[in-house]
Structure 1
């Protein structure tokens, strides 16, 4: 079970806002800007990794489908 399986979209949004407010409290605009850009870069990398994971999983499933179809064709030819 994933950590995020039991969190509603509203709760996740609330947590994100709470973290943002907590992490930026008392910091300068410059510090917040740098930190925000850093988090955006980390987020982009996480999304890239997730996209590649999904792509590779999709390719694996397609290869399995092709293999199964080839087996079915082979059986039908007999």
Structure 2
């Protein structure tokens, strides 16, 4: 593969993948978990998902700053 000058693609997707595993695997693997543990796991999954949204917002802002032509304007 030829090297490119593009920086690494999105890492926010890994936050969303982690949130998916956090929210689903414990319930699938341990269905008899105590309710308090299930609630704690759901809260951790929501926090990881929120971190993914924050990271995605930062990546989109950085991508817009790197754009050579900038965002489109309505000026004619």
- 4+ runs deviating over 3 angstroms: 15-21
User: How many residues are paired up?
Assistant: 50
Relative to its length, the structure with more helix (as a share) is 1
Residue from 56, 65, 69 that aligns with 2:69: 65
Higher RCO (Cα < 8 Å, 6 or more apart)? 2
Structure 2: give runs of 5+ residues left out of the alignment.
Answer: 1-19, 71-76
Question: What TM-score results when the alignment is normalised by the length of structure 2?
Answer: 0.52
Please give the root-mean-square deviation of Cα atoms over the aligned residues, in Å: 2.6
Structure 1: give runs of 5+ residues left out of the alignment.
Answer: 1-14, 67-78
